[in-house]
Chain A
Amino acid sequence: MSTARTDLEALTAALRAAIGADRVISDRQQLRTYECDGLAQYKVVPALVALPADAAQCASVVRACVAADTPFVARGSGTGLSGGALPHADGVLIVTSQMREILEVAPSDERAVVQPGVINLAVTRAAAPYGWYYAPDPSSQQICSIGGNVAENSGGAHCLKYGFTTNHVIGVELVTPDGDRVHLGGRAPDAPGYDLLGAFVGSEGTLGIATEVTVRLTRLPESVRTLLAAFESTDQAGAATSAIIAAGVVPAAVEMMDTLAISAAEEAVHCGYPAGAGAVLIVELDGPEPEVEAQFDQVVRLCRDNRAFEIRIAADDAERALFWKGRKSAFAAVGRISPDYIVQDGVIPRTALPAVLRRIGELSAERGIRVANVFHAGDGNLHPLVLFDAAVDGQTERAEEVSGAILDLCVSHGGSITGEHGVGMDKAKYMPRMFTDDDLDTMQLLRCAFDPAGLANPGKVFPTPRLCGEIPGRRKGVHPAQEAGLAEAF
């Protein structure tokens, strides 16, 4: 019997003693259930799965991992799209889905306190009877967990106006990679000290595991108005978006789909978008009635001025839901028109949209790979869907080339390699295209402060594993990414 096997048996026994045998999975077949998250092309079977019932158990599991010098990976609902919750083959997967109580809804404080396994939409459902809701709305909000949202700093269609998870999480209790339980932030704003909460949100499970989350609740808007505008081209739809932003309007959401994405959605959910559209825009305004009324007329006018050939205005919630149905189903819908696809996530300055879309079109034509475009047009967050057939020789490689080239395109326009899906496993290799070695070394300083042993979600976010004892060496000269104009020294 190998030492590794002995160690694993000892750890299994320790975990069973700490949190109960029924909360530890070691059976190979059962472990396979957890081999991937929402990014299914990466699969790793974890050595063990632990399902703690509460924060104390979660801390016990982490302490057992530390004692056994074993890496651990936290997982919520497993809907992440960057492989952030991909298990470690020799590690423990700590699943927070059993910690799913809404501990408190306090409208008078505009706060809710929840456990990490609580589903995003459940927070809104619990707060809505009081007239409040939880604003971040990733498209997986019916199944994704708050703990996962915190790890990934999830966005959503409405973050254009309301911001991301980081703007709405005001306190966490976390288990540090040492197994300590620490509170950061709280019910009142501006806790004294470093904003470790701000650093923790979006750290993709590398700085610890959230075991309790205090979120800000937002007043349900008095008025919501939504329109669907059809254009002949994405250029026209992009010009309309620019005109809306330039007019000083901050819509709750501005979403765009191109013709390929529209036809996929049409086939999948029969959303009934205007026929012959080269692009559709969904624009939603919300807020106090008098403001929404004044600005909605302005938005309609700006869409017309930019040659929208059809504008539909949602008469009620049912029609609004229909507008959104096509958009929200777009990722899954392309499965109807292509056997395989990559969901990309990149960000560009919004004004670069026409140039970037043209280049994506060229890339698509050059490699013979179709790309359907769906995006949060208001904030320049692109979700190109790169379509391919893995059964056809060479298509997978060409699709990956196109997908990677799109990220380069984003970086070269001063954008980002990820707007909301996270770096995870999938994009760690792209980090040097956006950041210099010094930038990444500096981020590692934070990681080493939290996790000197490097046990929390190793191999994610950063391209090069580095021991915390290593002193980052000084480099001379200009970083290649900077030289190539890919990273800016701003």
Chain B
Amino acid sequence: MPTDAILDRLRAAGESTTDGRRPDGSESVRPAREHDSIAGVPARYVATPRDTAGAATLLRTAAALDLAVTVRGAATKQSWGGPPRRLDLILDTTALTGVVEHAAGDLITVVRAGTRLDELAATLAGARQQLALDAPMPGGTVGGAVATNASGPRRMLYGTVRDLIIGVTIVRADGVVAHAGGKVVKNVAGYDLAKLVTGAYGTLGLITECAFRLHPLPPAVAYVTRRTDDPAEAGRLAGTVRTAQLVPTALEVDAPAGGGATVTVLLEGTAAGVTARAEATRRLLGVDATACDGPPDGWGRYPWRDGDTGLKLTAALSGVPRLLAEARAAADRRGLPLALRGSAGVGVLYAGLPGTADPELVAGLVDALRTASAAVAGHAVVLTAPPPVRDRIDLWGSVDGLALMRRVKERFDPDARLAPGRFVRGI
């Protein structure tokens, strides 16, 4: 089919007027422009549906035309994962926005996937409530956070997307709309497909709406910080906080490439309770510990910048000090400036390397980090890397249950048109 005819078919599907424009002048379907690419792969068309029904029509049409589709939200994490093997259509969710429901008395919200997390937070704050999910990349959307299973420091208390999402609406590769879960927190009816699409990088379907459980905003917060020279010592201090009766919301370690490390404990609760617990934490961490009511620099941000190599390392909790020490040593041996930062309280560390570092050395370090993580029952996943590094490594490492995962993908997207190659081992 000639390109124009495909565009016409998509436009006809895109709930638009005949010239492809909505009453407000925006185009629902348009030819791709220079920047409309995913991980370096250019697209041919961009569609921007405004609701689930519109997205379903578009995906049904894309299926009929055998178009390969990748979903894009605010594009904050488009450098993550593998480049798509095929790409025709970018399905842009930035018009799929708005809070559908916020039942404050029931502590739940239903929100469209293209809504920005910071905008949702502002809405919920009006009722002194929150979706207790950190956004490590500012400006990201709800759908993007779900699709990449992004989380931050407060996961220690509140968990991650999988613990907060209670319902989902997806559009399948064939354009069929499906729901799972609901909008009550306690619900065991049917399969938990919300968890299945969480962290699936958009390879199983387009997420159009999510229901979440909410938490009250805490009346008081305190951050207690202690510096040390040795990252492993920071890991050990984190261990003592875990076993104390402090119930921290977050327990973070930050070990920048320049050396030294800090442990920061976030406490939330009533004013009186937080004051008492902050004092107890200060005593536990030692004389140098300081308490304040704002976060330290870099709190909840990944320790890398655009174009750098960024990894997620995981460990059994008791292995965190060892992983910190071995990661630092492996980087030092190669003369690489490795920045480590993450949630020591749950066994997750993020690691960043400059994009300018020698790709051979970086590839060697990725291997070493993988060995170090595996030794503490964890994984090392490369979330993002510049092309010369990508070419030399496997982003994902070993994946348990891979055969089952391939079968799931085959059932949901038999023609492999949804972000093919973006996910683990070419899924």
- Chain A residues with a Cβ under 8 A of chain B: 106-111, 131, 152-153, 155, 159, 163-164, 166-167, 176, 180, 182-196, 198-199, 201-203, 219, 221-222, 242, 245-246, 248-250, 287-291, 293-295, 347-351, 376, 379-381, 414-423, 427, 431, 434-436, 438-443, 445-450, 461, 472, 474, 487-490
> What are 13 contact pairs spanning A and B, CB under 8 A?
A188-B378, A193-B401, A203-B191, A288-B245, A288-B273, A295-B270, A349-B106, A349-B184, A414-B183, A423-B188, A423-B189, A436-B179, A449-B404
CB distance from A194 to the nearest CB of B (A): 5
- Check A445–B412 contact: CB distance below 8 A: yes
Given A109-B318, A188-B347, A447-B191, decide whether A195 and B186 contact each other with a Cβ distance below 8 A: no
B269 in the interface (beta carbon within 8 A): yes
> What is the bound-complex CA distance between A250 and B280, given in angstroms?
23
Question: Which listed residue, A183, A187, A415, A445, touches B182 by the CB 8 Å rule?
Answer: A415
- Check A442–B408 contact: CB distance below 8 A: no
Segment among B26-34, B66-74, B170-178 that sits at the interface with chain A: B170-178
Given A380-B106, A449-B404, decide whether A489 and B243 contact each other with a Cβ distance below 8 A: no
B297 in the interface (beta carbon within 8 A): no
B262 in the interface (beta carbon within 8 A): no
- Check A349–B103 contact: CB distance below 8 A: yes
- Check A163–B410 contact: CB distance below 8 A: no
- A108-B318, A290-B276, A419-B187 known; 17 other A-B pairs, CB under 8 Å? A184-B401, A186-B377, A189-B346, A192-B381, A195-B162, A250-B215, A289-B245, A290-B270, A379-B185, A380-B106, A380-B184, A415-B184, A416-B188, A420-B188, A446-B408, A449-B407, A450-B407
> What is the bound-complex CA distance between A24 and B315, given in angstroms?
41
- Check A446–B193 contact: CB distance below 8 A: yes
- Check A190–B196 contact: CB distance below 8 A: no
CB distance from A168 to the nearest CB of B (A): 10
Measured between beta carbons, the chain B residues less than 8 angstroms from A185 are 400
Given A182-B400, A189-B348, A193-B401, decide whether A349 and B183 contact each other with a Cβ distance below 8 A: yes
- Check A109–B317 contact: CB distance below 8 A: yes
B338 in the interface (beta carbon within 8 A): no
Binary flags per residue of B67-107, CB closer than 8 Å to A gives 1, else 0: 00000000000000000000000000000000011011111
- Check B100–A381 contact: CB distance below 8 A: no
Question: Which listed residue, B172, B183, B377, touches A490 by the CB 8 Å rule?
Answer: B183
A-B contact count (CB 8 A): 284
> What is the bound-complex CA distance between A422 and B191, given in angstroms?
11
- Check A461–B190 contact: CB distance below 8 A: yes
Question: Which listed residue, B105, B169, B218, touches A246 by the CB 8 Å rule?
Answer: B105
> What is the bound-complex CA distance between A388 and B246, given in angstroms?
50
> What is the bound-complex CA distance between A184 and B378, given in angstroms?
13
Binary flags per residue of B198-210, CB closer than 8 Å to A gives 1, else 0: 1110001000010
> What is the bound-complex CA distance between A392 and B322, given in angstroms?
70
> What is the bound-complex CA distance between A490 and B215, given in angstroms?
21
> What is the bound-complex CA distance between A218 and B303, given in angstroms?
30
- Check A192–B273 contact: CB distance below 8 A: no
Q: Most B CB atoms within 10 A — which of A192, A248, A349, A436?
A: A192
- Check B400–A186 contact: CB distance below 8 A: yes
Question: Which listed residue, A187, A248, A435, touches B128 by the CB 8 Å rule?
Answer: A248
> What is the bound-complex CA distance between A447 and B187, given in angstroms?
19
Residue of B nearest to A348 (CB): B184
Given A198-B196, A288-B277, A294-B273, decide whether A418 and B188 contact each other with a Cβ distance below 8 A: yes
> What is the bound-complex CA distance between A180 and B218, given in angstroms?
47
> What is the bound-complex CA distance between A227 and B180, given in angstroms?
37
> What is the bound-complex CA distance between A474 and B177, given in angstroms?
11
CB distance from A411 to the nearest CB of B (A): 9
B247 in the interface (beta carbon within 8 A): yes
Measured between beta carbons, the chain A residues less than 8 angstroms from B182 are 414-416, 434
B397 in the interface (beta carbon within 8 A): yes
Given A438-B178, A489-B179, decide whether A379 and B184 contact each other with a Cβ distance below 8 A: yes
Measured between beta carbons, the chain A residues less than 8 angstroms from B215 are 250
Measured between beta carbons, the chain B residues less than 8 angstroms from A381 are 186
> What is the bound-complex CA distance between A449 and B400, given in angstroms?
16
Given A187-B316, A376-B186, decide whether A288 and B247 contact each other with a Cβ distance below 8 A: yes
How many B residues face the partner with a CB closer than 8 A? 95
Residue of B nearest to A440 (CB): B190
> What is the bound-complex CA distance between A414 and B198, given in angstroms?
23
B64 in the interface (beta carbon within 8 A): no
> What is the bound-complex CA distance between A447 and B215, given in angstroms?
33
> What is the bound-complex CA distance between A109 and B377, given in angstroms?
11
CB distance from A355 to the nearest CB of B (A): 13
- Check B101–A490 contact: CB distance below 8 A: yes
Residue of A nearest to B323 (CB): A188
Given A192-B396, A195-B198, A446-B191, decide whether A155 and B186 contact each other with a Cβ distance below 8 A: yes
- Check B400–A193 contact: CB distance below 8 A: yes
B314 in the interface (beta carbon within 8 A): yes
Given A188-B377, A290-B277, A414-B183, decide whether A349 and B159 contact each other with a Cβ distance below 8 A: no
CB distance from A477 to the nearest CB of B (A): 13
Given A189-B346, A190-B312, decide whether A489 and B169 contact each other with a Cβ distance below 8 A: yes
- Check A490–B192 contact: CB distance below 8 A: no
B384 in the interface (beta carbon within 8 A): no
The residues in B between 3 and 62 inclusive whose CB is less than 8 angstroms from any CB of A are: 52
Binary flags per residue of B377-416, CB closer than 8 Å to A gives 1, else 0: 1110100000000000000110111111101101110000
CB distance from B342 to the nearest CB of A (A): 11
B272 in the interface (beta carbon within 8 A): yes
B265 in the interface (beta carbon within 8 A): no
- Check A198–B401 contact: CB distance below 8 A: no
- Check B106–A351 contact: CB distance below 8 A: yes
Measured between beta carbons, the chain B residues less than 8 angstroms from A183 are 400-401
Measured between beta carbons, the chain B residues less than 8 angstroms from A152 are 188
Measured between beta carbons, the chain A residues less than 8 angstroms from B402 are 193
CB distance from A286 to the nearest CB of B (A): 10
- Check A489–B184 contact: CB distance below 8 A: no
- Check B187–A291 contact: CB distance below 8 A: no
Given A288-B277, A442-B176, decide whether A219 and B189 contact each other with a Cβ distance below 8 A: no
- Check B189–A291 contact: CB distance below 8 A: no
Measured between beta carbons, the chain A residues less than 8 angstroms from B193 are 199, 442-443, 446
Measured between beta carbons, the chain B residues less than 8 angstroms from A153 are 188, 192
- Check A194–B196 contact: CB distance below 8 A: yes
Measured between beta carbons, the chain B residues less than 8 angstroms from A418 are 187-189
B250 in the interface (beta carbon within 8 A): no
Question: Which listed residue, A186, A245, A290, A434, touches B107 by the CB 8 Å rule?
Answer: A245
B229 in the interface (beta carbon within 8 A): no
Residue of A nearest to B317 (CB): A109
Q: Most B CB atoms within 10 A — which of A290, A351, A474?
A: A290
